[in-house]
């Protein structure tokens, strides 16, 4: 058992012990957050690229990563906005379940559509104009 589990089962909570445990776990949480961010970036546009472009899986992942790095500021703003919206929906689900469910029926398709709009904006393909 870890020292944290011992503290829980013994009902002995010491602020100094908790501080040591938190300081030991912080690098792990930072590392996992960075790994999750890299995986998110690599997979952000990959599904749309696979569907709408004739590319291989590895190429789609690579292009997705490059596109996200080039457009890092808009993606950060988008992720913060979506996190706030999803947190608000999560809070609503906890307080008024039916309203939260109805909001999620509206918001989830909107998120999918916004990812598509983002894809089409980043990977603009000029369609040939007919005279």
**pLDDT reading at 126 higher than 80:** no
Can you tell me the distance from the alpha carbon of 130 to that of 44, in angstroms, rounded to the nearest whole number?
A: 33
pLDDT tens digits along 85-123: 888 888 888 888 888 788 878 888 988 899 889 999 998
Closest to 23 in 3D by CA, of 3, 47, 1, 41: 3
Tens-digit pLDDT profile for residues 12-30: 567 777 787 788 888 899 9
Residue 69: closest CA among 102, 31, 42: 42
Radius of gyration of the chain (CA): 21
Q: Which residues, 6 or more positions from 66, have their beta carbon under 8 angstroms from its beta carbon?
A: none
User: How far is the C-alpha of 26 from the C-alpha of 13, rounded, in Å?
Assistant: 19
User: pLDDT band at 3, cuts 50/70/90?
Assistant: low
């Amino acid at each position: 058992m870890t020292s944290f589990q011992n503290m829980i089962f013994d009902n002995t909570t010491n602020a100094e012990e908790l501080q040591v445990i938190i300081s030991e776990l912080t690098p792990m949480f930072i590392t996992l957050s960075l790994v999750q961010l890299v995986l998110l970036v690599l997979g952000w546009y990959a599904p749309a690229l696979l569907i709408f472009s004739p590319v291989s899986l590895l190429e789609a992942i690579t292009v997705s990563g490059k596109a996200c790095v080039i457009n890092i500021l808009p993606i950060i703003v988008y992720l913060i906005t979506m996190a706030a919206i999803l947190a608000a929906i999560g809070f609503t689900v906890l307080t008024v379940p039916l309203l939260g469910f109805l909001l999620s029926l509206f918001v989830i398709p909107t998120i999918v559509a916004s990812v598509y709009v983002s894809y089409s904006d980043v990977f603009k393909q000029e369609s040939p104009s007919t005279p």
